[in-house]
Amino acid sequence: MARQSRLPQRTPSVRFAVVEIGRLLGHERIRPALLEQLMDQIRKDGYLRRPVLVADGELVILDGHHRVEAVRALGARRIPAYLIDYFSDIVHLATWPDAVVSVVTKEDVIRRGRTGDLFPPKTSRHTMTVLLEDRPTDLDDLR
């Protein structure tokens, strides 16, 4: 009887890091009114409540474009992020109900991030099968 060869299964990884904003690549445009609202809230609170979600390796922002731009405008050089194995099964991709683009793939997201050919605001909707906790971070610690 021949032995069945088994490939080792890869465990999807999620890791927390504070990353340089200048290294991150967006794949969607932002809404100026939403950006202003978020900047006001962060300025008032003095901290960023939730890390952004980023494709590990590619450094494409998956969730948090407005947070990145808000803290950048407030003088931050770094931002807390969850770096995720994007092509794993723990990341699900859909579009928002009112999105202009109705079908988006993970490959599209990465390509748009790399090329700067941005989707309209609030096109992609990423959800996770694992819980990512809020990690409030003082704005002064990000400068």
Using a 10 angstrom Cβ sphere, with 0-12 exposed, 13-18 middle and 19 or more buried, the burial of residue 50 is: middle
**Active-site residue, 28 included:** yes
Q: Choose, from 20, 28, 69, 107, the residue flagged as catalytic.
A: 28
Partners of 124 in the beta sheet?
A: 95
Tokens of 13: 């990884």
In angstroms, rounded to a whole number, what is the distance separating the alpha carbons of residues 26 and 113?
5
- Catalytic residue numbers read 28
